[in-house]
A = this chain, B = another copy of it.
């Protein structure tokens, strides 16, 4: 029994405990843990490392965050993390953040502006380093963030809000791709199952559908507007099928809507693609496993997430805001009529 008995602290182990155990000052512990900013003698470093291991010391990230002004955390707001498209986006953003050593606070807005603003305010209070907004977003929200010196990235479809970073896809070009493909199959009455967006009928997908028809000299087919999920697509489908002149092809503004649409078509005793051809937008896995497999416009979700995160954590602070628009790609499967 010696007088230099190890004192096992009861609470969580702090830097101070390590310092005492190793017989050095707290500064040295810091230097060892962070490898800087000052050098430490090898012998001393060994003592400290020993003490850390013995005591099971784990630096308190909260304290570090307070001192450094960053807790290496990003926030993400999406409408509904159980919707496969948003789920994939969330997964991609989480991955991109994790790869850079950032953690991700994920929240659902349920498409409610209040909820979204509450989350944004919460993020601001928590001093996150950046926020990826893929939800409702009205400009007023963003002011909240400015005061808190938090960088936002808009990761939604229509890139609005000049002065803020944004990442999106070329909705119009993508939609044209799909509709032109349907036209290529000989269809002349092509309907649209459109989602509901904040700035209605200003959506690129709708414009793309319209322009593709116009360019081919075709009349505008029927249009049904409903929410962006399976149930919305189902309801929109029922309305489109009830049209006096039924369309022979339908473009859906999301894969989820297409899934609901397929169900509505089947329930009407019709088959895809024989009676009605279908194409949609997003390129989620579910489109691949539906019956028939959906021809869909694929968004480069992983690249988009990567771009959004790098705009937030990059060294590009105080640079001019960037607007990145990614191209889409048509994934041809069976629902359009291809073999």
Contact = CB atoms under 8 A, between A and B. Distances in A.
Say how many copies of this protein the assembly contains. 2
Interface stretch (A17-25, A52-60, A215-223, A310-318): A52-60
Nearest to A291: B291
A103 interface: yes
Given A147-B56, A262-B291, A289-B230, A61 B126 contact: yes
A43 interface: no
A62 interface: yes
Nearest to A83: B87
16 contacts: A12-B148, A58-B147, A60-B125, A62-B65, A66-B66, A73-B105, A80-B91, A82-B84, A103-B105, A103-B126, A104-B105, A262-B291, A263-B291, A286-B286, A290-B290, A290-B291
A283 interface: no
B90 A127 contact: no
Contact of A94 (B81, B149, B286, B291): B81
A98 interface: yes
B82 A88 contact: yes
A95 interface: yes
A58 B124 contact: yes
A142 interface: no
Interface string A112-126: 000000000110111
Interface string A58-102: 111111011000010100000011111001101100110010000
A249 interface: no
Contact of A148 (B58, B94, B122): B58
A107 B84 contact: no
Contact of A84 (B87, B126, B147, B149): B87
A41 B121 CA distance: 28
A108 interface: yes
A198 interface: no
Contacts of A27: none
Nearest to A259: B289
Contacts of A285: 82, 230
Contacts of A98: 107-108
Contacts of A83: 87
B71 A62 contact: yes
Given A82-B84, A103-B105, A103-B126, 19 more contacts: A11-B149, A58-B121, A61-B125, A63-B66, A71-B126, A81-B87, A82-B88, A82-B91, A82-B285, A84-B87, A87-B90, A91-B108, A94-B108, A98-B108, A103-B122, A104-B105, A262-B291, A286-B286, A290-B291
Nearest to A92: B82
A226 to B, nearest CB: 15
Nearest to A285: B230
Contacts of A262: 289, 291
Interface in A288-327: 288-291
A260 to B, nearest CB: 7
